[in-house]
């Protein structure tokens, strides 16, 4: 099996790919999230691992829009990776000498508090990936630049760590989805992801679309929306819920929902990732 991930090596996406693919897979680094989809569609890889949401910054809009508008690939699995950011620069650099911080926009956003408190005047520069930012800073040799990225990037590209665990929240997790030509068969512990648009924007329409789930005691695990593109005020509603699309009760709900809404797209059914292993990260974390 070949697994495409958002490169270069050292990204959190590579870690998610390693978790999913294991020791026997071949790994293909690609430069962007849209390229991940194309890698599977063109046969360059069997599956692709894409970030879809972060526990600090929320949904990854690029991935959601690809699923909604641009691909027929299906979600075959999900992988959750703890995100622990470090600040890397060249040997000999000091924190008070840093004038520019480079990282993926998500990395910069997830470390907002650290940057505001310690480097409030530093320029923040967006990069295609966290690992790429680390490599750029280390290779560049400029002591006034630092990168935010995962520990794995530091291990691969070296450099000097100025600070560790600089993410805003200790329990920082990113959920990745694995896209393939087919989704996964039922396991008895599954989730399904769908998107739909409503026929008309009237009061109570979302209540009516959610009602079949409640009547069959099907738990919704995520609800969000994305613009349909091109018309202001109209949205695609995205749901994740427990169960497999082939389960009889889920199939009935999808049939009812399909008759009720304007368009319905099933993104796939896949095994639920065990989140209990991360519970310790949230035990001392307050909401507000």
Quick check: is 278 catalytic? Answer: no
Q: Indicate if the pLDDT at residue 99 is higher than 60.
A: yes
DSSP state of 189: S
What confidence score (pLDDT) does residue 229 get? 84
Task: Give 96's Cβ-side CA count (13 Å radius).
Answer: 0
Quick check: is 174 catalytic? Answer: yes
Are 47 and 40 in contact, with CB atoms under 8 Å apart? yes
Are 180 and 46 in contact, with CB atoms under 8 Å apart? yes
Mean per-residue pLDDT, 84-108 = 95
Task: Please tell me if the domain spanning 2-83+172-180 has the same topology as the one spanning 190-271.
Answer: no
The share of the chain scoring above pLDDT 70, in percent, equals 97
Q: Which residue has the tokens 């998500």?
A: 106
> 96: which 2 tokens?
């008070």
The answer regarding whether domain 2-83+172-180 maps to CATH 1.10.260.40 reads no
Write the CB contacts of 14 (distance below 8 Å, at least 6 apart in sequence): 5, 6, 7, 27, 29, 131, 152
What residue spans define the domains of the chain? 2-83+172-180, 85-164, 190-271
Residue of 63, 174, 192, 209 marked catalytic: 174
Mean per-residue pLDDT, 222-242 = 92
Q: H/E element holding 162?
A: strand 160-164
Mean per-residue pLDDT, 9-28 = 94
**Cβ neighbours of 215 (radius 10 Å):** 12
Pairwise CA distance, residues 2 & 281, whole Å = 32
The 3-state DSSP class for residue 8 equals coil
Beta bridge partners of residue 57, listed in sequence order? none
Q: What angle do CA 101, 104, 109 make, to 5 degrees?
A: 75
> 40: which 2 tokens?
């599977």
What confidence score (pLDDT) does residue 134 get? 96
- Give backbone dihedrals phi and psi of 127, rounded to 5 degrees, phi first: -130, 165
Please tell me the CATH code under which domain 85-164 is placed.
Answer: 3.40.190.10
Q: Which sign, positive or negative, has the C-alpha torsion 180, 183, 189, 193? A: positive
- Give backbone dihedrals phi and psi of 247, rounded to 5 degrees, phi first: -60, 140
Residue of 5, 114, 176, 267 marked catalytic: 176
Please tell me the CATH code under which domain 190-271 is placed.
Answer: 3.30.70.260
Please state the pTM of the whole predicted model.
Answer: 0.87
């Amino acid at each position: 099996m070949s697994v495409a991930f958002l490169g270069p090596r050292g990204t959190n996406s590579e870690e998610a790919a390693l978790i999913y693919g294991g020791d026997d897979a071949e790994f293909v680094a690609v430069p962007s999230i849209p390229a991940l989809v194309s890698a599977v569609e063109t046969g360059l890889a069997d599956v692709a691992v894409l970030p879809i949401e972060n526990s600090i910054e929320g949904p990854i809009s690029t991935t959601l829009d690809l699923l909604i508008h641009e691909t027929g690939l299906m979600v075959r699995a999900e992988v959750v990776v703890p995100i622990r950011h470090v600040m890397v620069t060249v040997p000999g650099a000091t924190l008070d000498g840093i004038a520019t911080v480079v990282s993926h926009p998500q990395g910069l956003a997830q470390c907002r508090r650290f940057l505001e408190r310690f480097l409030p005047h530093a320029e923040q520069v967006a990069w295609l990936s966290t690992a790429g930012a680390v490599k750029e800073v280390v290779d560049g040799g400029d002591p006034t630049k630092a990168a935010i990225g995962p520990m794995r990037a530091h291990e691969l590209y070296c450099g000097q760590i100025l600070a560790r665990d600089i993410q805003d929240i200790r329990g920082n997790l990113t959920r990745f989805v694995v896209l393939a030509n087919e989704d996964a068969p039922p396991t008895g512990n599954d989730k399904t992801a769908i998107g739909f648009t409503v026929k008309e924007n009237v009061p109570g329409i979302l209540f009516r679309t959610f009602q079949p789930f409640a009547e069959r005691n099907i738990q919704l695990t995520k609800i969000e929306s994305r613009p349909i593109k091109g018309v202001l005020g109209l949205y695609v509603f995205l749901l994740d819920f427990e169960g497999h699309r082939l389960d009889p009760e889920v199939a009935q709900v999808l049939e009812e929902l399909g008759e009720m809404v304007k368009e319905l797209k099933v993104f796939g059914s896949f095994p639920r990732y065990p989140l209990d292993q991360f519970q310790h990260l949230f035990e001392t974390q307050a909401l507000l």
